[in-house]
Amino acid sequence: MSLVRNSNVAVIGGGISGLSFVYFLSKLRPDLNFTIFERSSRFGGYINTELHNFNGEKIKLEKGPRTLRGASDGTTIMIDTLIKMGHKDVINVIPSNSIANKKYLLSPENELIQVPNSLPSTYNFLRSSLGKGLLPGFLTEIFKPQKLNKKDESVESFLTRRFGKSLPNNIMSAVFNGIYAADISKLSAKTTLKSMYESELQHGSIVKSMLLKSLKFQNKNDDSKKIEISNVLKDYETAFPNSNYKISDLKSLLTKFPMIVLSKGLETFPSLIKENLSKNSKIKFIHNDPIISLTKNQNKLITLTTSSGHSTEFHHVRSTVNASTFAEFLQNGKLMTTGKEDSPTALIAQELKFINIFLVNLYINSNVLKNHGFGYLIPKSNKNNERVLGVIFDSDIEKSSSKLFTEDTFKALTSTNETSEKPKFPEIEPHYDSESQYTKLTIMMGGHYWTNHKIPSRETSIRAAKDALENQLGLDFTKLSQDTDFYIDSLLIPNCLPQFHTGYDELKFKFLESVKNEFGERLSIGGMSFGDGAGVPDCVQNAMKSALKLSK
């Protein structure tokens, strides 16, 4: 569908998905008029950086995502956008050999075992209780029979079938606690382990596929080892050209770093996007007036009605809210027009389940960590009475981050724009600010552990978080005063993460087809529910792709 000139476009949800969609589409189609509806008083969605006062100083607390993966296409688009907006100075990186890049798993004995990133750490991991049975599982995987059908299965079933029980129980269950807060016995392998799932179908073995890719890479000469960008980035560069550097060179630079952070918190990105959009007179922001219904009217336009009773027609609507909230809009719309809740799209949307996350932020005005790194996750093989998903060492991330764009780094990025040479980036050496005397932690709780339980009270959850830190890190809160030694805060984030259960791909296809059948091209879907994934870069990438499609 091509929007006629000066069309009115509505975006439901003022989080990163909605804001970035408007940013990209408004650049491609400056004639369009936009209205962004946000139900709360703040924009940014689940990306939420707060400043709290403690003993006369400001403490930065992340209430949602805080880091970006340097190798992803979505991250490359985000960083390029920050540079174009003139804010490259806020971009910090964590080098691969940094202290903050050490990641741990908690063993059943409450010991932090480093995830292997070297020969010594690999040896130590295999000797631990978490590594038991792991090596035989990998050595025999290549001889396991190939799955002959393409039917989806759970992550646990898939990994157990290929590698045995050790990998899913002791490692991957913890990894998925950190990414999706989800139970691997229910998660879709086809969706969340797409590369591994397809490797078995194509080569009969995941290990065999890895070896073939490694040999293919090793046989390339140095010139051909230059980063090859995806079609997504090619389309992005064509639509949003940059005269200073090639997007492939920026991607090559970012791939060197496992993590990227923003110096004032990740909310800096949506805040800067909103600031940029606010300068455009054709973009209007409405907050504290939630959408309550969505209907297609007789003119084949979409009418949105808010809680204050205002109804407005739009040529196109972009919904970025979660599927269950979206289903409510459709059901209310049907009730208003037909007196029945008979929206087929709403019924499909309700099949997607969501979980609740409880975050506890802890600030201690002294260094108390014995192990340093990014943090740790907890496998399903652990007892875990406190129902903790994992703990992030925010202070180590902050103390280890380095500014990405020094004068030399940016000069290297822009110096080869008119040549075919690979840029030679200066090395960013790891550092650790050991002089800063504080510890900052984020304890992630709930998720799938709360699926069949009543959500505990705030006091109960904070007590459980303290118990976990005492048992797992050896913290002694009896020796700390809450008035002078530590500060604690918490946040319940309800229905925040979609659960990509077995059969999700089919559900997504069915949902998007139903949207098309019911609304044609007047309605598009963004956000985490039925987008490209649950990560922040996934949402930005999806917003850019949709803006490109709609701008034609």
Percent helix, strand, coil in the chain (nearest 5)? 40, 20, 40
CA angle 266, 459, 39 (to 5 degrees): 45
For residue 245, give the 3-state DSSP assignment.
Answer: coil
Dist. CA 357–CA 449, nearest whole Å: 10
The Cβ of residue 308 has, within 10 Å, a number of other Cβ atoms equal to 10
| Alpha-carbon separation of residue 462 from 48, 67, 95, 176, 398 (angstroms) | 20, 24, 33, 23, 24
Residues in Cβ contact with 112 at an 8 Å cutoff, skipping those fewer than 6 apart: 104, 105, 106, 371, 376, 472
Sign of CA pseudo-dihedral 240, 243, 244, 246:
positive
Q: What is the pLDDT of residues 33-80, one digit of tens each?
A: 999 999 999 999 999 999 999 999 999 999 999 999 998 999 999 999
Mean pLDDT of the residues in the chain: 94
pLDDT bracket for residue 147 (50, 70, 90):
confident
Per-residue DSSP letters for 30-45? TT-EEEEEESSS-SBT
Which one is predicted more confidently, 512 or 217?
512
Dist. CA 91–CA 409, nearest whole Å: 12
The residue-averaged pLDDT of 279-283 equals: 98
Does position 217 have pLDDT exceeding 80, yes or no? no
Give the helix/strand (H/E) hosting 525: strand 523-525
Burial of 299 (0-12, 13-18, 19+ CB in 10 A): exposed
The pLDDT value recorded for residue 298 is: 81
Phi then psi dihedrals of residue 277, to 5 deg: -70, -30
The structural domains of the chain, with segments of one domain joined by +, span: 1-52+265-352+501-552
pLDDT bracket for residue 110 (50, 70, 90):
very high
**Poorest-pLDDT segment among 11-15, 122-126, 211-215, 504-508:** 211-215
| CB 518, CB 344: distance < 8 Å | yes
Dist. CA 402–CA 431, nearest whole Å: 8
Dist. CA 326–CA 514, nearest whole Å: 13
- Output the six-digit token pair for 26: 């408004």
The pLDDT value recorded for residue 225 is: 52
pLDDT bracket for residue 1 (50, 70, 90):
low
| CB 165, CB 157: distance < 8 Å | no
The pLDDT value recorded for residue 148 is: 82
The residue-averaged pLDDT of 21-27 equals: 98
Does position 418 have pLDDT exceeding 90, yes or no? no
| CB 254, CB 83: distance < 8 Å | no
The residue-averaged pLDDT of 379-398 equals: 96
Q: What is the pLDDT of residues 486-516, one digit of tens each?
A: 999 999 999 999 999 999 999 999 999 999 9
- CATH topology for 1-52+265-352+501-552 is FAD/NAD(P)-binding domain (3.50.50)
Closest CA to 254 of 92, 380, 386: 92
The pLDDT value recorded for residue 136 is: 95
Whole-model pTM: value is 0.94
| Cα 58 off chain centre by | 26
Closest CA to 80 of 211, 273, 216, 223: 273
| CB 73, CB 232: distance < 8 Å | yes
The residue-averaged pLDDT of 343-356 equals: 94
**CA dihedral of residues 395, 399, 402, 403 (deg, nearest 10):** 70
Q: What is the pLDDT of residues 251-262, one digit of tens each?
A: 999 999 999 999
pLDDT bracket for residue 443 (50, 70, 90):
very high
376 strand-pairing partners: 104, 391
Dist. CA 130–CA 186, nearest whole Å: 22
The residue-averaged pLDDT of 392-413 equals: 96
Q: What distance separates the 2 farthest-apart alpha carbons in the chain? A: 69
pLDDT bracket for residue 214 (50, 70, 90):
confident
The pLDDT value recorded for residue 343 is: 86
The residue-averaged pLDDT of 278-294 equals: 97
Residues in Cβ contact with 205 at an 8 Å cutoff, skipping those fewer than 6 apart: 141, 142, 144, 146, 199
The pLDDT value recorded for residue 90 is: 97
pLDDT bracket for residue 517 (50, 70, 90):
very high
Burial of 277 (0-12, 13-18, 19+ CB in 10 A): buried
The pLDDT value recorded for residue 417 is: 65
pLDDT bracket for residue 421 (50, 70, 90):
confident
